[in-house]
Chains A and B, each alone.
Chain A
Amino acid sequence: MNKPQFNKDFVLRKVCGLNVVLPTGAKVKDFGGALNLNDTAALIFEQLQAGKTVEDTVAALVTKYDVTPETALADVQETIELLREAGVIA
């Protein structure tokens, strides 16, 4: 079971058709901005934040998109690293 731990101070919102991850509370001033995610990254974010495993997330991508499990897994892992660098994942 591989479940990244999300910082609860970040929320995903749909703003004017864009997927935007925003800091809340005290994080607002520390973070100093927001993250724009494309639809694929937003699906990964939603799955993982809901407590799904990396494997579940890969399965969700493969079900919805024309992508191989190998590519999906590599992209999920890369997205997790980007979110970790941004402080969204502990």
Chain B
Amino acid sequence: MFKLLKRKSFRFDIRHQNGFTSIAIICFIFLYTPIFTMMVYAFNQGDSIALWEGFSLRWFVSAWGNEQVKDSALRSLIVAIFASGISTTVATMAAIATTRTKSFRGQNIVYAIINQPLMVPEIVTGVALLIFFALVKTVTGYAGLGFLILAHTAFCIPFAYLPIRARLEGMDLILETAAADLYATPWKTFRLVTFPLLFPGIIAGAMLAFVISLDNVVITELVKSAGQDTLPTYMLGQLRRAITPEINAISTVLLAITVVILTLFYLLNRKSE
């Protein structure tokens, strides 16, 4: 006992905190057990998400053949592509206008408006858009996908803006000033100097906006017209009914896509470091 104590005090680790490692391990187990369980049952042969009846891919096949799944997944993609494209474009312009300049009049209001979707609870934005779009729908009679795209574009703007702005702030003005000194027009300076330097930030912003749009549940659920389910709202609707492993199969595929994208990011980052 004494020996043990002695050895312990000899190897006194200043970073050590009693119990922290155990809590961290518990935390990781807690984070991964539900996801793993869900993935395992996606491969269940039976109809249950509780009783294991052997390995099969039947639920992936049935999800793939489900018209509603295909339909809503396609709609999710269309909305996400438009929303991330538009929001990244306007966010890039906004970032150029607000970065690397002296403070200007109305600056705080501009920041507040751009960051608003990050601060206002989603359910509140969703309700606001529900009311507003209901008015527009009765006036114009239009009930298409445009509403969803507009809503998604708006809340994607801050997510696209932040990485682009961060990239811009790290860039020196010297190169652009040099281009201007050599009589490049502002547009030429942007196209040949600013844009190529800014490109990684724009890609990061666009990807972030794309994922945020693809994942959105609350605002979509409130804004969508009848028959305008995206994949997340379709899944939310299914959870009310008897759940089959088909939902697990869809979730597993989405999870796999997330992991692949993140792994690519992780590896690319490591390479650049």
Chain A partners chain B: no
Residues of A within 8 A of B (CB): none
Residues of B within 8 A of A (CB): none
